[in-house]
Amino acid sequence: MLGVLSNPAYAGAYVFGRYRSRRLVRPDGTITTKVTELPRSEWPVVIHDHHPGYISWEQYLANERRLKANDTHSGQRPPREGRAVCQGILRCGACGSSMTTLHRREGSYYECGHSRADHINTPSCRSVKTTVIDELVARRLLDAVAPEEIALALAAADEVADRRTRASRAVELRVERAGYEAARAERAFHACEPENRLVARSLETRWETKLHKLAEAEAELAEHTRPAPEPSREQLEALARDVPQLWAAQSTSEKDRKRLVRALIADITITSQPTGRDVQVGIRWQSGATEQHTIQRPQTRQEVIRTPAAAIELTRRLAADHTNAQIAEQLNAAGLQAGTGGPFAAEHVQWIRWRHKIPYPASYARDDELTVTEIAQRFAVSDGTVYAWIQTGKLTARRGHGNRLFIAYGPATERHCRELVSHSFHLPTETKIRAAGGAV
């Protein structure tokens, strides 16, 4: 199939000299042969309709143009499937490379992958979610083709057409004057006597100069008067009214949306800083006009469910003499909400205490009680060992406020803990010796 698309023999043409081989001598002395394909203009032999072909020569040329337009290795960015509207026309403002599109479970992203691949990744080469850029581009695109903008464009087009008419009239007068001067130079040349060779040569040179100026003026007039097919005002206004519905229609494919974007927008440049949520988006239109926009990155899931700073500060102030339930009531009374969007509960306050290392009030433990950490430090064991003693029933503990465990500590408890340490098979000998001697 690829041969049918690229070989002119399938189009009924006989060609010779498509490839040229050259022998090269490498620095190490080895000789290699390199084969290169020549452009069609340099083929020495091309005979059309040499034999019956499967496709016509015009179809072969059309296939060649299409293959070239879809060749991503040569820098082409044809529209493809996928919901990323700006795919293929985005560039990184930090390194200048084109940005790739990554599709993940949580969504699609525009990412500067070239800089990471060749190890020149800069802190400003970052990724951004596709929906953030696509929404801005779609809004600007629909604003550009709004009926009001079309009316302004038509008014500007009328002014340009009026200027073009005036310029064309000036060129017409220039052609008339150049024709008159060329005719005078011709009459002067024919009126000269042949014997006056120097005068005749001078008149001939002047005539040729006037003819050259006349040809330039006529070419300029032909350029100004070249007809340009333009749709009527009614067609443009109707198209502007239909574009929003066409863009949002379910029957419109993603490729069609991308083609519409590329018809008006040449490329888009994205620049962001290593820190912060601001993203600079530069849009360059096909007309050459440019514009700059600043948008915000969407918050991550962690940022959305993050506890407000005011709630953390209030918890820190009330932690010394309030329970978790009491602090939750105070937070709700202050009009604050948890990161999930609902009211605060005791478990939310407990999480805030643990996450931000806010201590529990000392009054939660009685005078004859120790915490798990204090028992572990006293007998040089880990907190996990003490929790294992409690879970297996070897040590009795009371569950107090904040779901904390408190152990009634006395002489009996101390002797029992020393026995547990000395009979353990997992603790080191130094710990057993210290527990037996009471040296902690």
DSSP state of 74: G
pLDDT for 427 equals: 64
Q: Look-up: residue for tokens 């005539």? A: 207
Tell me which of 154 and 409 has the higher pLDDT. Answer: 409
Q: Is the pLDDT confidence value at 4 over 80?
A: no
Q: What kind of fold does domain 363-437 have according to CATH?
A: Multidrug-efflux Transporter Regulator; Chain: A; Domain 2 (1.10.1660)
Structure tokens at 423: 């009979």
Q: What is the mean pLDDT of residues 261-272?
A: 86
Phi/psi of residue 306, each to 5°?
A: -70, 140
Q: Calculate the average pLDDT of the chain.
A: 80
Phi/psi of residue 405, each to 5°?
A: -105, 135
Q: Give the angle subtended at the CA of 60 by the CAs of 57 and 61, to the nearest 5°.
A: 90
For the chain, domain boundaries: 2-74, 80-298, 303-359, 363-437
148 pLDDT tier (thresholds 50, 70, 90)? low
Report the predicted TM-score, pTM, of the whole model to 2 decimal places.
0.51
Instruction: Give the model confidence (pLDDT) of 23-75 as tens digits.
Output: 888 888 888 888 888 888 888 999 998 999 888 888 888 888 888 877 766 66
Do 279 and 296 touch, CB atoms closer than 8 A? yes
pLDDT for 232 equals: 53
pLDDT for 14 equals: 92
440 pLDDT tier (thresholds 50, 70, 90)? very low
Cα 327 from Cα 345, distance rounded (Å):
9
pLDDT for 282 equals: 92
